[in-house]
Homo-oligomer: A and B are copies of this chain.
Amino acid sequence: MIIRLDMQSDVPIYTQLMNQIIEGIASKQLAPGEYLPSVRSLASDIGVNLHTVNKAYTLLKQEGFIQIHRQKGVVVNPDGMPGITPDYQHKQEAQLRPVIAEAICRGMDKTELLRIVESFYDEITQEPKENA
């Protein structure tokens, strides 16, 4: 999978990494059971420190997206993804409300907003386009 980082972004690198891996799983470019690069090789590939990658992996593990095996490496959780927990629902609400509120302020129609969300949903689930 191709990782794109924006070093100018105010979004932390480890967060960008987490987001891209999660989107990779959502788009089935990464399948459960599939191995991810080691912290050291990924770090050197994308030109960041080992600890930055390790932080992303550790957080993804805590949330249940991946498993980390001591001397075998990092693997997309073969037991499936975490479900819709109450904690997750709260996090999702905290993320969605401000976005929706701003859309309303700017005069975005409800159907228009839903259309946008739907199109992103489709865009993500339709990829595995791996080859660009």
- The residues of A with any CB-CB pair to B shorter than 8 Å are 11, 19, 22-23, 25-27, 65, 81-84, 88, 92-108, 110, 113-114, 116-118, 120-122, 124-125
Q: How far is the CB of A116 from chain B (nearest CB, A)?
A: 7
Q: How far is the CB of A105 from chain B (nearest CB, A)?
A: 5
**Complex contact A92–B101 (CB within 8 A):** no
Which of B84, B94, B120 meets A108, CB within 8 Å?
Answer: B84
Which of B11, B94, B107, B114 meets A84, CB within 8 Å?
Answer: B107
**Complex contact A104–B88 (CB within 8 A):** no
Query: How many Å lie between the Cα of A83 and that of B108 in the bound state?
Result: 8
**Nearest B residue (CB) for A97:** B120
Given A114-B114, A114-B118, A118-B114 in contact, is the A81-B99 Cβ separation under 8 Å?
A: no
**Complex contact A106–B88 (CB within 8 A):** yes
Chain B residues contacting A11 (CB-CB under 8 Å) are: 94
Query: How many Å lie between the Cα of A13 and that of B97 in the bound state?
Result: 16
Which of B27, B102, B117 meets A117, CB within 8 Å?
Answer: B117
Query: How many Å lie between the Cα of A94 and that of B9 in the bound state?
Result: 11
**Complex contact A83–B107 (CB within 8 A):** yes
Chain B residues contacting A27 (CB-CB under 8 Å) are: 101
